Amino acid sequence: MFETLTAAPPDKILSLSVLYKNDARPTKMDLGVGVYKDSQGATVIMRAVREAEKRLYESQTTKTYVGMAGDEGFNKAMLKLVFGEEADLSRMFACQTAGGSGALRTIADLLAKARPDATIWMSDPTWANHVPIAKAAGFKTATYPYFDPESGTVNAEAMLQGLKQAKAGDIVLLHGCCHNPTGANLTIDQWGPVADLLIERNLFPFVDLAYQGFGDGLEEDAAAVRLLASKVPEMAVATSCSKNFSVYRDRVGAVILMGKNAESVKIAGSQTLATTRVLYSMPPDHAAAAVRTILEDDALRADWKSELETMRLRMLNLRKGFAEALRRQSNSSRFDFIADHRGMFSLLGLTEAQVDRLRNEFGIYLVGDSRLNVAGVKEDRLDDLAKAVVAIL
């Protein structure tokens, strides 16, 4: 049986982590893998998560199955987190998934049942796992222009023009906030015309919301999704708790669907659960129960928000500090865009050879496309990092 197989290519980002681990230089910097780190370089368990886990440990009396859609309290809390406390949820469906990746794949499989001949359009560039997930669900993929490496901003006009190539019924994958890998995002004013184009051309919005709370704030980062929801007839959102609750390995996220009416979303929801039933039957419970515990308790929720805000502000300060350090070291404003980017990543616009030089000569590890994880930078190493970048230009 297995002799018919050839080895799958190694995951580029995870291979980088191995190289980093084996690098003996004490000055090395891991700016590759996409996890939040504090100023000590640690990915800590958030206080509210610890407390919620303690409460669960003390109160849980059974590990029997929860249900096909997971924890319904969690699902409702996710809907409110994404759409707001006062949102009308009558045309919404949510189910708990194994991380944001689980949500993305479940939505892709659902959409493949609904419209197998559609193409999924993705930003150029996009998160490395988007294309494989879409292909695994059987979709054709295409790209729309997104990032302008010269200015480090989104080329919104080119994006709109590019999306005009899509045919009616196609699917458009959008990053709800904190674009990965570029860090460049549409302004809320630029989202309006995108929504209008989707409606005009009958394109289906599929939003990946993996970093709510990492950009401009919890509410602000949901603004694009909420704007879309106020305009388009139907949409799907894949959300993740990996980053904003720092529960990466415990795997929790959610599929969210908005239908044209309550009846249509009920049918789509039932097909979603039929999809997960044959994949893994039911989602893991632990982190979802912790997240639900936090979101349903005023004090825990406030503490979670406050710790998340500390993380967000740290990334913003590092962005400002790094842009200033690059200005000092290069005597140019070329990298000012880093301060305007949001989320954990910025695409620096370096060649693969330059990224290799950063690693080989300076022990600075970026992903090959020159994606830098700002959260991995230490406050007292900003000038070292800027000097190294300027040296390899």
| Binding test (CB under 6 A) with ligand PMP, winner from 96, 240, 244, 293 | 240
The amino acid present at 30, given as its one-letter code, is D
Q: Does 244 bind ligand PMP (CB under 6 A)?
A: no
Q: 71, 109, 170, 208: which is the annotated catalytic residue? A: 208
Of residues 253 and 321, the one with the C-beta less far from ligand PMP = 253
Q: How far apart are the first and last CA of the chain?
A: 49
Residue 281 φ/ψ region, left for φ over 0, alpha for ψ in the -120 to 50 degree band, beta for the rest: left
Shortest distance, position 376 Cβ to ligand PMP, whole Å: 14
Task: Give the count of alpha carbons within 13 A of 206, CB side only.
Answer: 26
> What gap in Å lies between CA 48 and CA 227, rounded to an integer?
30
Q: Does 255 bind ligand PMP (CB under 6 A)?
A: no
| Binding test (CB under 6 A) with ligand PMP, winner from 74, 93, 127, 337 | 127
Find residue 347's DSSP bridge partners. 371
> What gap in Å lies between CA 287 and CA 278, rounded to an integer?
22
304 is catalytic: no
| Residue 272 near residue 94 (C-beta atoms within 8 A) | no
| Residue 39 near residue 318 (C-beta atoms within 8 A) | no
- Contact segment (CB under 6 A) with ligand PMP among 40-48, 99-107, 313-321, 382-390 equals 99-107
Q: Does 106 bind ligand PMP (CB under 6 A)?
A: no
Of residues 285 and 334, the one with the C-beta less far from ligand PMP = 285
Q: Does 329 bind ligand PMP (CB under 6 A)?
A: no
Q: Does 100 bind ligand PMP (CB under 6 A)?
A: yes
| Residue 31 near residue 376 (C-beta atoms within 8 A) | yes
> What gap in Å lies between CA 360 and CA 339, rounded to an integer?
27
243 is catalytic: yes
The amino acid present at 301, given as its one-letter code, is R
- Contact segment (CB under 6 A) with ligand PMP among 97-105, 114-122, 197-205, 295-303 equals 97-105
Shortest distance, position 253 Cβ to ligand PMP, whole Å: 5
Residue with the closest Cβ to ligand PMP? 99
Shortest distance, position 210 Cβ to ligand PMP, whole Å: 4
DSSP strand pairing (171-175 vs 119-124): parallel
Q: Does 180 bind ligand PMP (CB under 6 A)?
A: yes
Shortest distance, position 393 Cβ to ligand PMP, whole Å: 27
- Contact segment (CB under 6 A) with ligand PMP among 1-9, 71-79, 240-248, 376-384 equals 240-248
127 is catalytic: yes
DSSP secondary-structure letter at 164?
A: T
Shortest distance, position 240 Cβ to ligand PMP, whole Å: 3
Q: Does 242 bind ligand PMP (CB under 6 A)?
A: yes
167 is catalytic: no
Q: 77, 112, 121, 127: which is the annotated catalytic residue? A: 127
**Residues with Cβ within 8 Å of residue 38, at least 6 apart in sequence:** 44, 311, 314
Number of residues that bind ligand PMP (CB under 6 A): 12
In DSSP notation, 88-148 reads --TTEEEEEESHHHHHHHHHHHHHHHH-TT-EEEEEES--TTHHHHHHHTT-EEEEEE-EE
> Distances from the Cα of 211 to the Cαs of 62, 123, 195, in angstroms?
32, 17, 21
Q: Does 99 bind ligand PMP (CB under 6 A)?
A: yes
The residue ranges that bind ligand PMP (CB under 6 A) are: 34, 99-101, 127, 180, 208, 210, 240, 242, 248, 253
Residue numbers annotated as active site: 127, 208, 210, 243
